Chain A
Amino acid sequence: MAEIVTTDVLVIGAGLAGERTAIACSSEGLDVIMLSLVPPRRSHSCAAQGGMQASLGNSVMGKGDNTTVHWLDTIRGSDWGNDQEVARIFTDSAPIAMREMAHFGVPWNRVKGGPQEVFIKGKKATIVEDYEKEGLITARAFGGTAKWRTCYTADGTGHSVLYTMDNMAVQLGITVHDRMEALRLIHADGRCMGAVVRSLRNGEIVVYFAKATVIATGGYGRLYGISTNAIINEGTGSWLALQTGIVPLGNMEAVQFHPTGLVPTDILVTEGCRGDGGILLDVDEYRFMPDYEPEKQELASRDVVSRRMIEHILKGNGVKSPYGDHLWMDLRHLGEHHLKTKLREVYDICMHFIGVNPIKELVPVRPTQHYSMGGIRVNKDGHAYNMKGLYAAGEASCWDLHGFNRLGGNSLAETVVAGMIVGEHIADYARNSTLVSDVSLAESFVKKENGKIAQLLSSNDGEDVYRLRDEIAEALINDVGIFRNGERLETAVTKLKDVVERIQKVRVRFRAPGMNPELSGALRIEGMAKQALVIAMGALARKESRGAHYREDYPARDDANWLKRTLVRWPEGADEPLFDYEPVGILDLPPGERGYGEGEQIPMRISLQTYNKKVYEEQKARGRFDTVKPAGTQLPKEAWRSELDKEGG
């Protein structure tokens, strides 16, 4: 029998969401163990540069900001695809979370009184900061926000916040078991008891029993191959939920792309480049964006620019390279001083990673997968549908703050805010539960995993794991990318169904049972293939365009038929996933124009009242547990009216 470890709370994933959750539980006196594929400080959270949105309103450009204005931006950004109550909980808590991080040690950039030179819409401008606000947390501008609201520490916000958070975890003595990969949740009768975990150091299988289990493993961006994500973001957490057969994943087809990933490394090159006047060129060094978007040109919204770039490449105007076709970003005219000060990070990345000096040379870029809006469907307390004792937080979850398009600066903030809120609910849950350590049940789960490993290690002829991974990535990036249509999505579905079949025959060339990167890859490939299929099938079924999900054959946002969240489960033993839909949540702000991007819309057919009436029952019928505060009670009705009046005026 495998080694057994018991704890009150098992947190799978030790990035910002996992750590903040662990800190919430540990502060309440509970035993917490964090499992992580890598040392916590290496998590993808450390790579975030931009910052965290919170309506502190200290900078003069944030004057008049409040939680309602932040909420309005978030609802519009989501293209009305998110849960408006969750967005309210989030925007109300974000300022507290930022202040708390300051108390923990984050050296947020601060307001400096007096005149400051800045760039606004590519032009030099002077703003005058209030001396009375000097020393308070300041903010910078981000896309899709009415105010400057994004708190930051230089260009290393993720690093700074993650290290501070991990310092707290060390102070509290939270146990970390790193280089451990959860393979399967242990559960019976809709109750989660922990997980079967494999050590990446020596291959040993360990059973963890916990009162509450939290999945905080980040997104599934790496399924796309071309992604700004760290290479560990392969959807391992959402796969744990999908494997149960009863916990649904939400909105998996909602995948965000960023226009300028560096070729060939796909490291993110900030939107600030275009904000400061950088332009996009094609193979003939021709500036093509004004032809497509005469008004906004390179500064159209992220999804629009990404779409135009792909469209232009598909017309044969891309630059050929061993890494596929790309376009150029031209920053040369901005000059050496600008590139070595305002865009220092971009300068360093270009020099170090591709040996290109942006002062003199063109920078190769292409649209790149960036964020996963979908994930494990949870209620507003973070509790997974249909599975008592299972929680999720951060990008791994579909708490549904972001709907179909996430605003920059809302994801890093979500990790900390969700960790704080969900963490408290988990602590309550764990305190009021008893540990169920059903050893014979665990043994049956261990047996399954051991059987899989033994089979992989003895396989002879068969499929190569890396080839299958590449096929998954190609199917997604080619046919479930920025532009989607029925024909292409059907191609992807057919291809991915074929891959799902072939994963049964994966072979492993390297036969060591312990540390074995090929075996670890082979154990992950089933989850990757099945989630890829889920994304493609979800996108094929959703016959509308909403946020990042753009259908050429259904270009309008269709609130009459699609004001709903995709739920998908994969019942045990089934050949295919099972799709279902629920209303997105109680609507307070009725669906309207986003105010940017393409705007065709098909309005709702029923009244808000009729819609809202069915939300509670329909979600409950799909497995949503009752929340500590009843659904809808944290949504102050029509608080946004006064803000909209101001906007109108």
Chain B
Amino acid sequence: MGRLLTFKIFRYNPGLENGHPRVESFKLEETPRLNLFTALHKIREEQAPGLMFDFVCRAGVCGSCGMMINGRPTLACRTLTSNLLDTIELYPLPFFKLLGDLSVDTEVWFRQMSEQVESWIHTQKEFDPDAQEERMDNELANKIYESERCIECGCCIAGCATALVAPDFLGAAGLFRIGRFMIDPRDQREDSDWFELVSTDEGVFGCFGMMSCDDVCPKDLPLLEVFAYIRRKMTTTGLKRSKKESVSV
């Protein structure tokens, strides 16, 4: 006989008149290796058929199931109940638009961010199907891959003090995306192009430096390093610019 777990789950259904925000409790017996993916489905199938939450891959790679688990933004699919106390509090991620219960809309934010940072390779070159591929150093290829491992779960944004007061802030996910294209030689954008985008309060200089994004990132992405890289690059670019300006004046 496993522990009897109590789930305190935030409930809100905007489509129902009586769907007002509240917290409901559910009991569930713990089975070996129970994770929140299985637990939430059991609760929905046996006790609360209307309960809304998002899972897709249930393997920690698609980023759908970010939620507040005992006050911390993280992925539900890979959270084992055995690592939690008997009472488990589940809330939707803050910052993103709430769709219902534990389900939030991350898509609008991430698509808008992708458009804002123009999240694609900027190049004048046309693809030639008959030509050999352009060469790239393997270490650089690995470095680029390391800098695009973000799964857009939104945990960093939900845990970010700046984002909560400044909704236009690009946040860790946005800055990380910029870092990915900055180091890619196929992208022909120059430091001055990036300066316009990043050296603002919405960009790298809006960050309070509390680094909770780095604490909560479920993929352990090197956010600190990337921010430091972008900051240094932008500070240098800024200094060069002001020098030029003062000379021309």
Given A170-B115, A349-B60, A512-B15, A110 contacting B136 (CB threshold 8 A): yes
The distance in angstroms between the C-alpha atoms of A412 and B34, with both chains bound, is 31
Q: Is B111 an interface residue (CB 8 A)?
A: yes
Provide the A199-217 mask, 1 if CB < 8 A to any CB of B, else 0.
0011100000000000000
Q: Which of A322, A512, A517 contacts B32 (CB 8 A)?
A: A322
Identity of the chain A residue whose Cβ is nearest the Cβ of B107 in the assembled complex:
A39
Q: Is the CB of B16 within 8 A of A42?
A: no
Q: Is the CB of A349 within 8 A of B59?
A: yes
The distance in angstroms between the C-alpha atoms of A102 and B132, with both chains bound, is 11
Q: Is B58 an interface residue (CB 8 A)?
A: yes
Q: Is the CB of A135 within 8 A of B149?
A: no
The distance in angstroms between the C-alpha atoms of A202 and B77, with both chains bound, is 25
A323: chain B residues at CB < 8 Å are 31
Provide the A353-395 mask, 1 if CB < 8 A to any CB of B, else 0.
1111000000000000000000000000000000000000000
Given A105-B120, A163-B148, A267-B58, A512 contacting B50 (CB threshold 8 A): yes
Q: Is the CB of A267 within 8 A of B59?
A: yes
A512: chain B residues at CB < 8 Å are 13, 15-16, 19, 50
B144: chain A residues at CB < 8 Å are 107
The distance in angstroms between the C-alpha atoms of A513 and B144, with both chains bound, is 45
The distance in angstroms between the C-alpha atoms of A374 and B58, with both chains bound, is 24
A167: chain B residues at CB < 8 Å are 114, 119-121
Provide the A32-69 mask, 1 if CB < 8 A to any CB of B, else 0.
00000011011110110000000000000000000000
For B45, B103, B115, B151, the residue with the greatest tally of chain A CB atoms inside 10 Å of its CB is B45
Q: Is A134 an interface residue (CB 8 A)?
A: yes
The distance in angstroms between the C-alpha atoms of A160 and B151, with both chains bound, is 10
Whole-angstrom distance between the Cβ of B127 and the nearest chain A Cβ: 4
A47: chain B residues at CB < 8 Å are 57, 59, 61-62
Q: Is the CB of B32 within 8 A of A321?
A: yes
Provide the B140-151 mask, 1 if CB < 8 A to any CB of A, else 0.
111011001101
A502: chain B residues at CB < 8 Å are none
Q: Is B196 an interface residue (CB 8 A)?
A: no
The distance in angstroms between the C-alpha atoms of A509 and B149, with both chains bound, is 40
Q: Is A335 an interface residue (CB 8 A)?
A: no
Q: Is A154 an interface residue (CB 8 A)?
A: yes
Q: Is the CB of B82 within 8 A of A171?
A: no
A178: chain B residues at CB < 8 Å are 107
The distance in angstroms between the C-alpha atoms of A322 and B44, with both chains bound, is 19
Identity of the chain A residue whose Cβ is nearest the Cβ of B75 in the assembled complex:
A352
Q: Is A159 an interface residue (CB 8 A)?
A: yes
Whole-angstrom distance between the Cβ of B159 and the nearest chain A Cβ: 19
Whole-angstrom distance between the Cβ of A587 and the nearest chain B Cβ: 29
* Chain B, 141-191, CB within 8 A of any chain A CB: 141-142, 144-145, 148-149, 151-152, 184, 186-187
Q: Is the CB of A109 within 8 A of B142?
A: yes
Q: Is the CB of A515 within 8 A of B13?
A: yes
Q: Is the CB of A107 within 8 A of B148?
A: yes
For B51, B62, B125, B137, the residue with the greatest tally of chain A CB atoms inside 10 Å of its CB is B62
The distance in angstroms between the C-alpha atoms of A109 and B107, with both chains bound, is 29
B124: chain A residues at CB < 8 Å are none
* Chain A, 437-495, CB within 8 A of any chain B CB: 466
The distance in angstroms between the C-alpha atoms of A346 and B26, with both chains bound, is 33
Q: Which of A38, A154, A466, A517 contacts B52 (CB 8 A)?
A: A517
Provide the B83-119 mask, 1 if CB < 8 A to any CB of A, else 0.
1000000000000000110010011001100110011
Q: Is B37 an interface residue (CB 8 A)?
A: yes
Q: Is the CB of B136 within 8 A of A170?
A: no
The distance in angstroms between the C-alpha atoms of A94 and B83, with both chains bound, is 45
B82: chain A residues at CB < 8 Å are 355
Q: Is the CB of A105 within 8 A of B186?
A: yes
What is the number of contacts between chain A and chain B, taking CB atoms within 8 Å? 193
Provide the B1-44 mask, 1 if CB < 8 A to any CB of A, else 0.
00000000000011110010000000000011101011000001
Q: Is the CB of B119 within 8 A of A352?
A: no
Q: Is B199 an interface residue (CB 8 A)?
A: no
A153: chain B residues at CB < 8 Å are 141, 145
B187: chain A residues at CB < 8 Å are 105
B77: chain A residues at CB < 8 Å are 353
Q: Is B138 an interface residue (CB 8 A)?
A: yes
Q: Is the CB of B33 within 8 A of A99?
A: no
Whole-angstrom distance between the Cβ of A24 and the nearest chain B Cβ: 13
Given A103-B127, A110-B138, A44 contacting B38 (CB threshold 8 A): no
Q: Is the CB of A518 within 8 A of B50?
A: yes
Given A322-B32, A353-B78, A515-B99, A46 contacting B107 (CB threshold 8 A): no
Q: Which of B60, B106, B136 contacts A39 (CB 8 A)?
A: B106
Query: SS class of chain B's interface: helix, strand, loop or mixed?
Result: loop
Q: Which of B37, B49, B141 contacts A108 (CB 8 A)?
A: B141
Given A110-B138, A163-B148, A230-B58, A105 contacting B133 (CB threshold 8 A): no
Q: Is the CB of B80 within 8 A of A100?
A: no
The distance in angstroms between the C-alpha atoms of A153 and B13, with both chains bound, is 41
Whole-angstrom distance between the Cβ of B75 and the nearest chain A Cβ: 9
Whole-angstrom distance between the Cβ of A99 and the nearest chain B Cβ: 4
Provide the A329-355 mask, 1 if CB < 8 A to any CB of B, else 0.
000000000000000000001001111
The distance in angstroms between the C-alpha atoms of A483 and B82, with both chains bound, is 36
Q: Is B135 an interface residue (CB 8 A)?
A: yes
Identity of the chain A residue whose Cβ is nearest the Cβ of B134 in the assembled complex:
A102
Identity of the chain A residue whose Cβ is nearest the Cβ of B137 in the assembled complex:
A135
Identity of the chain B residue whose Cβ is nearest the Cβ of A469 in the assembled complex:
B45
B73: chain A residues at CB < 8 Å are none
Q: Is A310 an interface residue (CB 8 A)?
A: no
A267: chain B residues at CB < 8 Å are 58-59
Q: Is B203 an interface residue (CB 8 A)?
A: no
Q: Is the CB of B33 within 8 A of A354?
A: yes
Q: Is A596 an interface residue (CB 8 A)?
A: no
Q: Is A176 an interface residue (CB 8 A)?
A: yes
Provide the A162-206 mask, 1 if CB < 8 A to any CB of B, else 0.
010011101100001011000000000000000000000111000
Q: Is A5 an interface residue (CB 8 A)?
A: no
Identity of the chain A residue whose Cβ is nearest the Cβ of B143 in the assembled complex:
A107
A99: chain B residues at CB < 8 Å are 127, 129, 131-133
Q: Is A532 an interface residue (CB 8 A)?
A: no
B59: chain A residues at CB < 8 Å are 47, 265, 267-268, 349, 353
Q: Is the CB of A100 within 8 A of B127?
A: yes
The distance in angstroms between the C-alpha atoms of A349 and B59, with both chains bound, is 8
Q: Is A615 an interface residue (CB 8 A)?
A: no
The distance in angstroms between the C-alpha atoms of A171 and B111, with both chains bound, is 11
The distance in angstroms between the C-alpha atoms of A356 and B31, with both chains bound, is 15
Whole-angstrom distance between the Cβ of A169 and the nearest chain B Cβ: 9
For B51, B57, B78, the residue with the greatest tally of chain A CB atoms inside 10 Å of its CB is B57
Would you mind naming 25 contact pairs between A and B with Cβ atoms under 8 Å apart?
Answer: A38-B56, A42-B64, A46-B62, A47-B61, A99-B132, A100-B127, A107-B184, A109-B138, A109-B142, A110-B136, A136-B132, A156-B61, A160-B148, A171-B118, A230-B56, A232-B56, A264-B38, A265-B58, A349-B59, A352-B78, A353-B33, A353-B59, A509-B49, A510-B50, A512-B50
Interface residues in chain A, defined as those with a beta carbon under 8 Å from any beta carbon in chain B: 38-39, 41-44, 46-47, 96, 98-100, 102-105, 107-112, 134-138, 153-154, 156, 159-160, 163, 166-168, 170-171, 176, 178-179, 201-203, 230-232, 264-265, 267-268, 321-323, 349, 352-356, 466, 508-510, 512-518
* Given contact pairs A353-B77, A515-B13, a sample of 17 additional A-B residue pairs in the complex whose CB atoms are under 8 Å apart: A39-B107, A41-B62, A102-B133, A107-B144, A110-B135, A110-B138, A153-B145, A159-B61, A163-B148, A179-B99, A201-B99, A231-B56, A231-B57, A321-B32, A508-B49, A513-B15, A517-B52
